[in-house]
Amino acid sequence: QVQLVESGGGLVQAGGSLRLSCAASGRTFSSYAMGWFRQAPGKEREFVAAISYTGSTTYYADSVKGRFTISRDNAKKTVYLQMNSLKPEDTAVYYCAADASLPTIVARGICDYWGQGTQVTVSS
């Protein structure tokens, strides 16, 4: 099993940056593909980014491509989401997720494990 805890959320002005972290407590973290999702008020949960278990392959939603970067450090059992050039429409609760599969599957929201989320608010 894997337990995920997100951190790093907060309030930032438009154009600013934040780095989210997702720490895993499981014993087999390195075998899991990981992903980030977000849910804004009144909106459905949407895919943000995903990464393979080795970190060699990444995927991004078109809305964040070029602005966000997903990475992982398997030694630290942590996945990161670096968010630059933030926009008010990026405001949402951000969740990390994990699944012992492929990042393309994780990107569809098919994940065995989910964190509790961290709030990101971007002011205009």
User: What's the mean per-residue pLDDT of the chain?
Assistant: 95
Instruction: Please check whether residue 59 is in contact with residue 104, taking contact to mean a CB–CB distance below 8 angstroms.
Output: yes
With a cut of 90, say whether residue 71 has pLDDT above it.
yes
pLDDT in tens, 82-110: 999 999 999 999 999 999 999 999 999 99
Structure confidence at residue 1 (pLDDT): 81
Query: In 12-26, which positions are buried (b, 16+ CB within 10 angstroms) versus exposed (e)?
Result: beeeeebebbbbbee
pLDDT at position 13 over 90: yes
pLDDT at residue 28 is higher than 80: no
